[in-house]
Amino acid sequence: MSKFNLILKDELISTNAYLKEKIKSKEITKDTAVLAFSQTSGRGRLERKWYSEDKKSLTMSIALTSPLSPCVTLLCALGVYDVLKDMIESDALKIKWPNDIVVRSKKLCGILTERVMNFTVIGIGLNVNNESFPTELSKKATSIFLETQKAFNIEEIGKTLCENLINTLKETNFSFDENTRNKYKNLCVNLGRQVEFGTPAKTGVATDISSFGELIVATDTGDNKISFGDVFVSGIY
Protein backbone atom coordinates (compact mmCIF):
# COMPACT_ATOMS: atom_id res chain seq x y z
CA MET A 1 0.00 0.00 0.00
CA SER A 2 2.93 2.34 0.60
CA LYS A 3 3.41 2.89 -3.14
CA PHE A 4 -0.30 3.29 -3.72
CA ASN A 5 -1.45 6.78 -4.59
CA LEU A 6 -4.63 7.84 -2.69
CA ILE A 7 -5.81 11.30 -3.74
CA LEU A 8 -8.12 13.15 -1.34
CA LYS A 9 -10.53 15.72 -2.79
CA ASP A 10 -12.99 18.02 -1.00
CA GLU A 11 -15.51 17.77 -3.84
CA LEU A 12 -15.87 15.91 -7.13
CA ILE A 13 -18.77 15.35 -9.51
CA SER A 14 -18.05 11.59 -9.46
CA THR A 15 -14.92 9.75 -8.33
CA ASN A 16 -15.37 7.17 -11.13
CA ALA A 17 -15.77 9.90 -13.75
CA TYR A 18 -12.68 11.69 -12.38
CA LEU A 19 -10.42 8.62 -12.68
CA LYS A 20 -11.84 7.64 -16.09
CA GLU A 21 -11.09 11.11 -17.47
CA LYS A 22 -7.53 11.11 -16.07
CA ILE A 23 -6.87 7.64 -17.50
CA LYS A 24 -8.13 8.70 -20.93
CA SER A 25 -5.97 11.85 -20.90
CA LYS A 26 -3.00 9.72 -19.69
CA GLU A 27 -2.60 11.85 -16.55
CA ILE A 28 -2.98 8.59 -14.62
CA THR A 29 -0.72 5.76 -15.73
CA LYS A 30 -0.39 3.68 -12.55
CA ASP A 31 -2.70 2.30 -9.88
CA THR A 32 -4.45 5.22 -8.17
CA ALA A 33 -7.37 5.80 -5.82
CA VAL A 34 -9.41 8.92 -5.17
CA LEU A 35 -11.69 9.68 -2.26
CA ALA A 36 -14.06 12.68 -2.33
CA PHE A 37 -15.54 14.08 0.88
CA SER A 38 -18.39 15.40 -1.22
CA GLN A 39 -19.67 13.89 -4.48
CA THR A 40 -22.20 15.98 -6.36
CA SER A 41 -23.41 13.63 -9.09
CA GLY A 42 -22.50 10.05 -8.23
CA ARG A 43 -23.74 7.28 -10.52
CA GLY A 44 -24.70 3.67 -10.13
CA ARG A 45 -25.14 1.12 -12.89
CA LEU A 46 -27.24 2.20 -15.91
CA GLU A 47 -26.57 5.86 -14.99
CA ARG A 48 -28.77 5.60 -11.90
CA LYS A 49 -28.20 8.22 -9.22
CA TRP A 50 -26.05 7.38 -6.21
CA TYR A 51 -26.99 9.35 -3.10
CA SER A 52 -24.25 10.59 -0.75
CA GLU A 53 -24.06 13.05 2.10
CA ASP A 54 -21.09 15.41 2.50
CA LYS A 55 -18.51 14.06 4.95
CA LYS A 56 -20.86 11.26 6.06
CA SER A 57 -20.78 8.95 3.07
CA LEU A 58 -17.70 7.30 1.64
CA THR A 59 -17.34 7.87 -2.09
CA MET A 60 -14.15 6.45 -3.51
CA SER A 61 -12.78 4.90 -6.68
CA ILE A 62 -9.74 2.76 -7.33
CA ALA A 63 -8.12 2.43 -10.76
CA LEU A 64 -6.06 -0.72 -11.22
CA THR A 65 -4.23 -1.93 -14.29
CA SER A 66 -5.68 -5.37 -14.62
CA PRO A 67 -6.71 -8.13 -16.97
CA LEU A 68 -10.35 -8.18 -18.12
CA SER A 69 -12.20 -10.26 -15.54
CA PRO A 70 -15.88 -11.23 -15.61
CA CYS A 71 -16.00 -11.62 -11.83
CA VAL A 72 -14.16 -8.46 -10.76
CA THR A 73 -17.32 -6.91 -9.25
CA LEU A 74 -17.95 -10.04 -7.18
CA LEU A 75 -14.33 -10.11 -5.97
CA CYS A 76 -14.61 -6.44 -4.97
CA ALA A 77 -17.79 -7.19 -3.02
CA LEU A 78 -15.83 -9.86 -1.11
CA GLY A 79 -12.99 -7.40 -0.40
CA VAL A 80 -15.44 -4.78 0.90
CA TYR A 81 -17.30 -7.42 2.93
CA ASP A 82 -14.04 -8.41 4.68
CA VAL A 83 -13.54 -4.85 5.90
CA LEU A 84 -17.15 -4.36 6.98
CA LYS A 85 -17.40 -7.63 8.89
CA ASP A 86 -14.88 -6.22 11.39
CA MET A 87 -17.04 -3.14 11.93
CA ILE A 88 -20.53 -4.59 11.91
CA GLU A 89 -20.68 -7.74 13.97
CA SER A 90 -23.75 -9.08 12.33
CA ASP A 91 -24.65 -12.39 10.74
CA ALA A 92 -27.03 -10.29 8.70
CA LEU A 93 -24.17 -8.72 6.69
CA LYS A 94 -24.40 -10.32 3.23
CA ILE A 95 -23.77 -9.76 -0.45
CA LYS A 96 -26.63 -9.32 -2.92
CA TRP A 97 -25.51 -10.44 -6.36
CA PRO A 98 -23.65 -8.91 -7.97
CA ASN A 99 -22.61 -5.64 -6.38
CA ASP A 100 -24.43 -4.77 -3.17
CA ILE A 101 -23.50 -5.25 0.46
CA VAL A 102 -26.67 -5.55 2.50
CA VAL A 103 -27.66 -5.80 6.12
CA ARG A 104 -30.91 -7.79 6.30
CA SER A 105 -33.01 -6.20 3.55
CA LYS A 106 -31.17 -2.87 3.38
CA LYS A 107 -28.34 -1.66 1.15
CA LEU A 108 -25.17 -0.49 2.90
CA CYS A 109 -22.80 -0.28 -0.06
CA GLY A 110 -22.91 -0.31 -3.84
CA ILE A 111 -20.01 -1.09 -6.16
CA LEU A 112 -19.66 0.02 -9.78
CA THR A 113 -16.84 -1.42 -11.88
CA GLU A 114 -16.02 0.06 -15.26
CA ARG A 115 -13.35 -0.74 -17.82
CA VAL A 116 -11.25 2.08 -19.33
CA MET A 117 -8.30 1.17 -21.55
CA ASN A 118 -6.20 -1.31 -19.54
CA PHE A 119 -7.65 -0.17 -16.20
CA THR A 120 -10.52 -1.43 -14.10
CA VAL A 121 -12.12 1.46 -12.21
CA ILE A 122 -13.83 0.28 -9.04
CA GLY A 123 -16.27 2.77 -7.52
CA ILE A 124 -17.43 2.24 -3.95
CA GLY A 125 -20.34 4.06 -2.37
CA LEU A 126 -20.57 3.20 1.32
CA ASN A 127 -23.00 4.73 3.80
CA VAL A 128 -20.84 5.41 6.86
CA ASN A 129 -22.06 8.04 9.31
CA ASN A 130 -25.49 8.76 7.80
CA GLU A 131 -28.16 9.16 10.46
CA SER A 132 -31.06 9.12 7.99
CA PHE A 133 -31.81 8.94 4.26
CA PRO A 134 -34.13 10.79 1.87
CA THR A 135 -37.69 9.38 1.85
CA GLU A 136 -37.22 7.43 -1.39
CA LEU A 137 -34.27 5.52 0.13
CA SER A 138 -35.33 5.31 3.75
CA LYS A 139 -36.77 1.79 3.43
CA LYS A 140 -33.92 0.56 1.24
CA ALA A 141 -30.72 2.07 2.70
CA THR A 142 -28.77 1.70 5.92
CA SER A 143 -25.41 2.97 7.21
CA ILE A 144 -22.67 1.71 9.48
CA PHE A 145 -23.80 4.30 12.03
CA LEU A 146 -27.41 3.13 11.94
CA GLU A 147 -26.26 -0.47 12.44
CA THR A 148 -23.71 0.17 15.20
CA GLN A 149 -24.52 3.59 16.74
CA LYS A 150 -20.82 4.40 16.26
CA ALA A 151 -19.20 7.06 14.06
CA PHE A 152 -16.19 6.12 11.91
CA ASN A 153 -13.38 8.03 10.20
CA ILE A 154 -14.07 8.00 6.46
CA GLU A 155 -10.46 8.46 5.33
CA GLU A 156 -9.33 5.54 7.53
CA ILE A 157 -12.04 3.28 6.09
CA GLY A 158 -11.01 4.38 2.61
CA LYS A 159 -7.39 3.38 3.19
CA THR A 160 -8.37 0.01 4.67
CA LEU A 161 -10.73 -0.64 1.75
CA CYS A 162 -7.96 0.13 -0.76
CA GLU A 163 -5.58 -2.30 0.95
CA ASN A 164 -8.14 -5.08 1.23
CA LEU A 165 -9.48 -4.76 -2.27
CA ILE A 166 -6.07 -4.70 -3.84
CA ASN A 167 -5.02 -7.73 -1.78
CA THR A 168 -8.18 -9.65 -2.63
CA LEU A 169 -7.83 -8.91 -6.33
CA LYS A 170 -4.11 -9.66 -6.50
CA GLU A 171 -4.33 -12.83 -4.35
CA THR A 172 -7.08 -14.22 -6.54
CA ASN A 173 -5.42 -12.96 -9.72
CA PHE A 174 -8.76 -11.40 -10.67
CA SER A 175 -10.37 -14.81 -11.03
CA PHE A 176 -12.88 -16.92 -9.15
CA ASP A 177 -11.12 -20.02 -7.84
CA GLU A 178 -13.15 -22.69 -6.00
CA ASN A 179 -12.39 -21.30 -2.52
CA THR A 180 -13.29 -17.74 -3.44
CA ARG A 181 -16.42 -18.88 -5.25
CA ASN A 182 -17.55 -20.87 -2.21
CA LYS A 183 -16.89 -17.92 0.08
CA TYR A 184 -19.02 -15.72 -2.19
CA LYS A 185 -21.77 -18.35 -2.34
CA ASN A 186 -21.92 -18.59 1.46
CA LEU A 187 -22.53 -14.85 1.70
CA CYS A 188 -24.87 -14.44 -1.25
CA VAL A 189 -28.46 -13.61 -0.20
CA ASN A 190 -29.88 -14.54 -3.58
CA LEU A 191 -29.17 -18.25 -3.33
CA GLY A 192 -32.10 -20.48 -2.46
CA ARG A 193 -34.58 -17.63 -2.89
CA GLN A 194 -37.24 -16.69 -5.38
CA VAL A 195 -35.90 -14.00 -7.74
CA GLU A 196 -37.23 -11.92 -10.62
CA PHE A 197 -35.04 -10.93 -13.58
CA GLY A 198 -34.96 -9.81 -17.22
CA THR A 199 -37.43 -8.06 -19.51
CA PRO A 200 -40.08 -9.30 -19.78
CA ALA A 201 -39.70 -10.37 -16.17
CA LYS A 202 -39.15 -14.04 -15.40
CA THR A 203 -39.13 -15.66 -12.01
CA GLY A 204 -37.22 -18.61 -10.64
CA VAL A 205 -35.05 -19.78 -7.80
CA ALA A 206 -31.39 -18.71 -7.66
CA THR A 207 -29.40 -21.92 -7.26
CA ASP A 208 -25.71 -21.22 -7.90
CA ILE A 209 -22.92 -18.85 -8.94
CA SER A 210 -20.88 -19.99 -11.94
CA SER A 211 -17.09 -19.84 -12.13
CA PHE A 212 -17.55 -16.73 -14.33
CA GLY A 213 -19.58 -15.05 -11.61
CA GLU A 214 -22.96 -15.55 -13.30
CA LEU A 215 -26.08 -16.10 -11.19
CA ILE A 216 -27.79 -19.37 -12.11
CA VAL A 217 -31.56 -19.23 -11.83
CA ALA A 218 -33.76 -22.30 -12.26
CA THR A 219 -37.08 -21.53 -13.98
CA ASP A 220 -39.89 -23.70 -15.40
CA THR A 221 -38.09 -23.68 -18.73
CA GLY A 222 -34.64 -24.61 -17.36
CA ASP A 223 -31.52 -22.92 -15.99
CA ASN A 224 -30.80 -19.27 -16.86
CA LYS A 225 -27.32 -17.76 -16.56
CA ILE A 226 -27.48 -14.09 -15.65
CA SER A 227 -24.33 -12.06 -16.13
CA PHE A 228 -25.63 -8.49 -15.70
CA GLY A 229 -28.73 -6.46 -14.90
CA ASP A 230 -31.03 -6.27 -11.93
CA VAL A 231 -32.25 -9.24 -9.97
CA PHE A 232 -35.01 -8.65 -7.44
CA VAL A 233 -34.92 -10.97 -4.48
CA SER A 234 -38.19 -11.81 -2.84
CA GLY A 235 -38.36 -10.09 0.56
CA ILE A 236 -35.33 -7.85 -0.10
CA TYR A 237 -35.41 -5.50 -3.13
**Binding stretches for ligand BT5 (CB under 6 A):** 14-16, 42-46, 48, 50-52, 59-61, 99-100, 107, 110-112, 123-125, 127, 137, 140-141
> Least distance from C-beta 146 to ligand BT5, angstroms?
11
> Least distance from C-beta 61 to ligand BT5, angstroms?
5
Q: Which residue is nearest to ligand BT5 (CB)?
A: 110
* Beta carbon nearer to ligand BT5, 79 or 123: 123
- Closest of 209, 198, 185, 197 to residue 233, by C-alpha: 197
> Least distance from C-beta 222 to ligand BT5, angstroms?
27
Q: What are phi and psi of 7, to 5 degrees?
A: -90, 135
* Beta carbon nearer to ligand BT5, 90 or 182: 90
> Least distance from C-beta 181 to ligand BT5, angstroms?
21
Label each residue of 145-175 as H, E or C.
Answer: HHHHCCCCCHHHHHHHHHHHHHHHHHHCCCC
* Beta carbon nearer to ligand BT5, 140 or 171: 140
- Closest of 158, 132, 156, 154 to residue 143, by C-alpha: 132
CA atoms of 127 and 130, how far apart (whole Å): 6
128-to-35, 50, 179, 215, 234 alpha-carbon distances in Å: 14, 14, 30, 29, 26
> Least distance from C-beta 93 to ligand BT5, angstroms?
15
* Beta carbon nearer to ligand BT5, 8 or 218: 8
CA atoms of 79 and 106, how far apart (whole Å): 19
* Beta carbon nearer to ligand BT5, 105 or 224: 105
